[in-house]
Structure 1
């Protein structure tokens, strides 16, 4: 498609581009939540309906989310949906955007757009959670999004201008070249990520824009700028509908219409200017100098902290609801007037070819930057090829070398493919959510996405396959000849493509890793069994023989075997040449015949290419017909009743104890970025030297725009900044407690920190259960009833009564709201009545009413002698504290002192705050640089620099304070009251075990995967190997059986990946908080794994051992114990690496590489390894599995040749099982090998504990 001529004038800004007007109306909409206990999958509809039916049969009451809501949002308007947390704001927005999964919810009523029910494709949705690519910069994120969303008729220059204007309007100029980052690899701040997400949606110039909590996490100034931008959009004919928690008074003036929700019911919907008069008319008048939004949220909220307050509020709520139900007749008229308008529907703005090119470039850039991308996969391929090539180094032409060649081909066909399969599954679980978002928005289609992903990964696929082939082929010393090498390379490349296709197919079915890995391992399992390496293809039982025709390992192994053996005769030391049976075994044709390889090289390669295409077609069909939709959490039935609340009005939570005054003296913080070889290449100043005092008895608030260092300051005080190989933090100055110098580590042991994220919550526990377990771990000296009483008291004080029995949830299961989750995190820290409490954005994502309650609660805590320090972005007019530390971007101090003196300070500087303005908003506006355009940027920078210089000069005037004491503060005498002591083992262990067991019981996917990854594998052994024969080919079959039992090692790592990553962030946070030590966690985690591992091992042994002909109790026990040991060692190895590495995908990849190497060196695939590798092999449990199973399966067995193989007067070579044991070096005492295996298994678990323990000690 041709683009606009470069001579034509540039297009108007994003605010000026015309759109098709759309009126939005909802009438009598009600939503009742169904239930779901698993993540998105293609089976979700069937499963959800079944669960709903079960709920009806069991009498379970569904959870109402919206109740008979009606509203009207005309074109050219900005409508705000407001209400307390859990009032249904996000649900109503999702109903409007038609983003709810109707299979899990009952939705009634109508939603129309210009009078029709079909939503125009020209709409956008800003989600509450940011879904961004971490390795792209802000500018690159918007550029690629712009290319995918903006019309083809626009030139590249015009699209770039629109992107730059978006960056400017959203104040993203200073972070435009900063990568988005993650929680472990810091990049943009939370506010900057939020604005980037908004910018992505604004680029497509939508007629209708839905925005869920767009100001959450933003400072007051940035929030006002964002809403002002949305208002400007609305003025140009767009329909903007947004939810918002804490709109400042200036933001309220920007709203055209307001929808007020309370407990899922609408208590007002109409023009904003008529809102307050309406409530006045029914007896609720807003007091003067109060933010209208705060008044309305407070009015519609229900305070359930005490029964009396709840009763009064419920009476008021019922009056509000009935009054509005009588008053509301607006929507009927609205639907009549909008029926004549038409909805502009359109196809995608961007052609399929251009989508392909854009996503290919984006994916290639991400792959180059991502350490798990190009460099990571190449490093893995080179390392594995070198080690495996070493294991098969320069094979001889004798029988051992010939057999080892077959093992090498299995390694090439199966092992490397499996490594990429697991690695790609993890990458796809991270990448597909980006596609899900863009696909749901209509900007990305399935076909170009699949093609672009493979095109972008083509360099990775080809390069790693080529390097692997070069290293492995020539180290092993395979068949000379250029054509043979390139056939080997082509086979390895097709294996790579098949593996990544299977991985994406698995993730397209299930988005969570445990379930996707189960699908991927099932495909690998049947391909492995029917591949022809362990069971000759012509000896596979006929009832499962058909499976080989869909096995990629079968085709790959056949092609590699043909490439090496077809037409080749190895040298034989017998004078008879090939006429004797002994030398016939040196014939390539004989080896192909014995292995059952019947396909040619070309047939194998064509079939592999067909499987690649087939899997990708299946992926496309699944992604197209089964898109991911929003799901709701299951509300579990709890078997305990809430403890009756005992009113404690006027009482302190705890008796007065010694207070802690924390002072900072010229305290500064820098971060150093290092190269991999250790050289410092960049040092960034996060906090400039500052001096301040955080006093007990009053709130201490740290304010400042995004990027001012607020979070870093709190993390530094709590000793939560962790150095890594590439990043280190450097502090200068002193921290003093009650006049004595304190180290960061000592201070960190006495502080409770509420972080900005909510990672320390288990998703499958309810709110009440979470608090009760937290109380049990932290309140050691109280009785069980007293602990429950404390949990109930905090639950009520935090306003969590209505969601007390709702699951926490995660990104796969919709549980409590973001605001409710925030309050749970705060409530956990309040359980211990901390003397020093730091809170990072405690009111972020909360409505004004809930935020007020939290600030009131924190004020009460401070009044009792605690030192409470909090950062805050947006504060209410009545939430202004007495001590304020105001930071500008870059960590410079703009003001520090009592709140009552702050406005006079700025008045003396020439800036007067009006009585109608929130003081917090006022000072944040002053100290923030406005980046929306060049003129504002220059003016605001001058203002900020002037204010900083004024405060710096004022500080110097008061620099004659007492110097800090040289005495280092130590834990002694009365200082011990500050330090938190961890729970003892006897207290922590049963609590942790109970909590983890309950969470795992509700994580059905993870629990089922632990069994279903193992038992079906045992069934496959029975299907493919039953019964064991004693002919000559059975030698290969029995060796293959041993090797496949060793593959249980992999399943142990998958079991760990399904469980430990969920527990890890909770453990990290609680150990940091000194709730308990590593020991009880490790023991409880290990014991919780034990019954699953025992049951899975026992069942797998039963279904595998008896059908293949095991009749001895000793051999059955050996099968059971070997499976159990393999699972346990896999879990231990993964646990150890998971403790060191922060990325669970990288952990899984490294673990599988190590296990693949161990598999190769077991003694079955590679017979004559170098001595060094044989010595290393002594610490591998696989060595002892092969060492004890081989005698059981070979000792005393005689293998007969078929009659046609015998020559007159001769017998077959190696017909005795004992000869096979000697050939492979497996002639051991099996009982001794089992005993050694038991010791190695225990050693691996002890090794995992030592690694975890030392890792936590290093963090300390």
Structure 2
């Protein structure tokens, strides 16, 4: 009965593989031998050993309950993660898993004590980030790019510029083939399934073949089949000599036994660190035996959470601190080496009745495709040394060399100009394919322009409808402000998550990204106001003067650009929820002090300064100058010239009545340019602050 109920995972031997390949269906579900062979065409090259070690690592944050108090998240922990091993960091909620991961990945650098070593040497963070990557729990991908386009952007940014384009395309093709994404390379990221999105996130970072990879909850949100595919892929990557570290929350028994190394945390301290196969024997030696037929991962999580008693938690912590755990693992290593050299080691006695598994140290997972995962022996996994060296994208010496120079772009594999060019094309394509940013905006500008034109049809040259015309001009400013502000506020915070991930994984500099983002969207932000302004200007019968027409369109375009700049600043500084609220709210005072609702002299002295901060007031003032200033000829009036309704025939009277008689068009133009520059530069520095704040 025990044998029937126990979970039995069999990892095939080398002879089994060749038998499976010759017979047809293999270990993978619903896969044929031909599919298995196809998945083995590309073997990721082995990376050299780059073990990560940390000693007496402490991390604390400000305690919200005490102004000067601090809360310890990590309490002097130590450990070592070796290359070639798939390491799991586990623990209850609040144990410090994510904090440890962020610190090791270099995403958090403040309030930290202790040493972090790479291959026995103190870690240089800038160099470390260059040959490591961090794949977060949420799959932040650009939704409008296809799998192939996203991969080529990654290749062009992360691989050396001197590398031929054909070689980059081959690298991308091979990675997609290995990760089972070749059939979906024309599919946009928004149409991928959860498992495919996770694999694409991994594929994007595999372009430059990093030797150290961090994964935050890689199985989060995936079904059991996708989880198995994902962990199989990580096992494969580790088999190539990489350091693969991931946080994981309560894996199944099948997934748990695929890990090589476990680092168990609870309340910021280490409960267990060592091989997965040695965990249950160690717990048994400490008087904690896993009940029959339980998942070992669930059991150790229950122990860490204190379900078996707080005294047991403290006992395990003290065992780690006193070195008893290290002695036990050392003895287990000696005992294992003295065992008979059978090809299959039955570990039932080690794992109790919780789980039964056949293991072989020479067997590694390899290919992953949709719905299946295949196995291959470690001897067959590696290509010969010559092929490996030629396939590797960076030499061993380049992994540990110090980065020279202080200029930000010099530390990347591509120049600033190349980064700008690639990011400009990528951003431009995303905007073109985004219905909200292109088609919807174009339709709205056309529709509203025609509607306003019909509503105010032919009033621009009538003296009796001057104030109606002023309302029309003000509404033009109002519409262009919100049509430029709100789409940016809604989309930029989501792009920010992609930007932060790619920048911290050393794809490109913030300068290149921000300049490309600004330049790619500017053509659309200029064309749409020109279309809208042209419709409104001629339908409302404004002066038939080309210079006035150009001045009118210039101010409309400037208003749109400044409003978009404000949207970028809000989006860069806040989250999406806050940005959606702040976007319209910031527009209210700008409109109230624009000069349309209240004249400047009517505003209380202590509030008049707000008028100078309103770019809408300068835009409205400049438009009135363009339409009614510069000695415009008298307006038409159907009444008699002496009639009160015709007192606004002269343009000077209109400007005086609207309190803009002393305004200068060139001053308004220059001030709007200053607003644009200041907001754009401020947004860049806020972007840098946002990235720094996350670390």
TM-score scaled by structure 1?
A: 0.42
2:116 to 72, 90, 111: 111
1:133 aligns with 2:142: yes
Contact kept, 8 Å, 2:266 with 2:304, in 1: the verdict is: no
Structure 1, residues 18-41: CA drift from partner, whole Å, max 9, x if none?
Answer: 67x533222233445656xxxxxx
| RMSD between superposed Cα atoms in Å | 3.7
Q: C-alpha displacement at 1:410, in angstroms?
A: 1.0
Note closer, same or farther for the CA distance 1:257–1:314 as it changes in structure 2 (3 Å cut).
same
* Inter-partner Cα distance in structure 1 for 2:71 and 2:43: 41
1:298 aligns with 2:299: yes
Deviation readout 1:1161-1193 (Å, 9 max, x if unpaired): xxxxxxxxxxxxxxxxxxxxxxxxxxxxxxxxx
Deviation at 1:230, TM superposition (A): 3.4
CA 1:319 to 1:303, structure 2 compared with 1: closer, same or farther past 3 Å? closer
Q: Distance in 2 between matches of 1:629 and 1:404?
A: 49
1:257/1:271 contact within 8 Å kept: yes
Is this contact kept in 1: 2:271–2:304, CA < 8 A? no
Distance 1:151 1:221, change over 3 A: farther
What's 1:1254 paired with? none
2:322 counterpart of 1:326? yes
Which of 29, 43, 51 in structure 2 is aligned with 1:23?
51
Q: What residue is the counterpart of 2:468 in the other structure? A: 404
Q: Which residue in the other structure is 2:261 paired with?
A: 257
Tell me, yes or no, if structure 1 residue 91 matches structure 2 residue 68: no
Which whole-Å CA distance do the structure 2 matches of 1:612 and 1:154 have between them?
39
| Cα pair 2:146 2:188 within 8 Å, conserved | yes
Within the alignment, does 1:204 sit opposite 2:204 as a pair? no
CA distance in 2, matches of 1:242, 1:453: 32
Partners in 2 of 1:341 and 1:588 — Cα distance?
Answer: 72
- Residue 359 of structure 1 deviates from its aligned partner by 1.9
Query: Where does residue 526 of structure 2 map in the other structure?
Result: 462
- Indicate conservation of the 8 Å contact 1:507/1:513, yes or no: no
Measure, in 1, the Cα distance between the counterparts of 2:533 and 2:221.
Answer: 50
- C-alpha change, 1:400 and 1:226, in structure 2 (3 Å) is same
Post-superposition offset of 1:351: 2.1
Distance 1:351 1:341, change over 3 A: closer
Query: In structure 2, how many angstroms separate the alpha carbons of the residues matched to 1:471 and 1:108?
Result: 64
Give 1:399 shift: 3.6
Aligned-pair CA distance for 1:586 = 1.6
Residue matched to 1:1017 = none
Local SS of the residue matching 2:121? coil
Q: Within 2, Cα distance between the matches of 1:297 and 1:588?
A: 82
Q: Which residue number in structure 2 is paired with residue 150 of structure 1?
A: 159
> How far apart, CA to CA, are the structure 2 residues paired with 1:406 and 1:190?
53
The residue number in structure 2 matching 1:159 is 168
Question: Where does residue 239 of structure 1 map in the other structure?
Answer: 243
* Counterpart among 440, 443, 454 of residue 390 in structure 1: 454
C-alpha distance in 1 between matches for 2:324 and 2:569? 50
Give the C-alpha shift of residue 280 in structure 1: 5.2
Q: How many residues align?
A: 573
1:654-713 Cα shifts (integer Å, max 9, x gaps)? xxxxxxxxxxxxxxxxxxxxxxxxxxxxxxxxxxxxxxxxxxxxxxxxxxxxxxxxxxxx
| Structure 1 residues 13 and 152, CA gap change in structure 2 (3 angstroms) | farther
CA 1:521–1:449 in 2, change beyond 3 Å: closer, same or farther? farther
Q: TM-score, normalised by structure 2?
A: 0.73
Compute the displacement of 1:107 (Å).
Answer: 4.8
Q: What does 1:1033-1052 align with in structure 2 at a 5 Å threshold?
A: none
Q: CA deviation at 1:558?
A: 2.3
Q: Distance in 1 between matches of 2:307 and 2:141?
A: 44
- 8 Å contact kept, 1:30–1:107: yes
Q: Any idea what SS the aligned residue of 1:457 has?
A: helix
Does the alignment pair 1:443 with 2:451?
no
- The 3 A distance-change label for structure 1 pair 178 and 585 is same
**Contact 2:441–2:483 under 8 Å retained in 1:** no
SS at match of 1:312: coil
Kept in 1, the 8 Å contact 2:172–2:207? The answer is: yes
Deviates more, 1:598-607 or 1:444-453: 598-607
Provide the secondary structure at the position in 2 that maps to 1:26. strand
Equivalent pair of 1:364/1:457 in contact (CA under 8 Å): yes
Q: In 1, distance between residues paired with 2:607 and 2:541?
A: 35
Question: Equivalents in 1 of 2:574, 2:640: separation in Å?
Answer: 60
SS in 1 for 2:514: helix
1:216 Cα deviation from its structure 2 partner = 3.5
Change in CA separation of 1:515 and 1:177 when aligned onto 2, cut-off 3 Å: closer
**Deviation at residue 544 of structure 1 after TM alignment:** 4.1
CA distance in 1, matches of 2:203, 2:399: 27
| 2:32 matched residue in structure 1 | none
Residue 70 of structure 1, CA deviation: 1.6
Counterpart of 1:214 (choices 215, 218, 223) is 218
Shift of 1:382: 1.4
Contact 2:90–2:262 (CA<8 Å) still a contact in 1? Answer: yes
Mark the runs of 5 or more structure 1 residues left unpaired by the alignment: 1-11, 36-50, 57-61, 182-186, 305-309, 332-339, 632-1260
Of residues 129, 133, 137, the one that matches 1:124 is 133
Unaligned runs of 5+ in 2: 1-40, 328-396, 404-410
- Per-residue deviation at 1:496? 0.9
Contact 1:170 1:225 in 2 (8 A): no
Q: Give the drift of 1:473.
A: 1.2
SS at match of 1:373: coil
1:350 partner SS: coil
- Measured at CA, do residues 321 and 432 of structure 1 come closer, stay the same or move farther in structure 2, by a change above 3 Å? same
Greater RCO, CA 8 A, separation 6+: 2
The correspondence of residues 637-716 of structure 1 with structure 2, limited to 5 A, is none
2:622 aligned residue? 559
Q: Secondary structure at the match of 2:139?
A: coil
- Equivalent residue of 1:470, what SS? helix
Partners of 1:411 and 1:575 lie apart in 2 by 28
1:528 aligns with 2:528: no
CA shift at 1:88, angstroms? 3.6
SS in 1 for 2:420: helix
C-alpha spacing 1:117/1:408, structure 2 compared with 1 (3 Å): same
1:540 deviates by 5.0
Query: Structure 1, residues 810-858: CA drift from partner, whole Å, max 9, x if none?
Result: xxxxxxxxxxxxxxxxxxxxxxxxxxxxxxxxxxxxxxxxxxxxxxxxx
**CA apart distance, 1:124:** 0.6
2:34 match = none
1:420 and 1:517, CA in 2 relative to 1: closer, same or farther beyond 3 A? Answer: farther
* Cα deviation, residue 210, structure 1: 0.8
Distance 1:471 1:27, change over 3 A: same
Is the 8 Å Cα contact of residues 639 and 646 (structure 2) preserved in structure 1? no
Per-residue deviation, residues 625-675 of structure 1 (Å, max 9, x unmatched)? 3326559xxxxxxxxxxxxxxxxxxxxxxxxxxxxxxxxxxxxxxxxxxxx
Q: Secondary structure at the match of 2:189?
A: coil
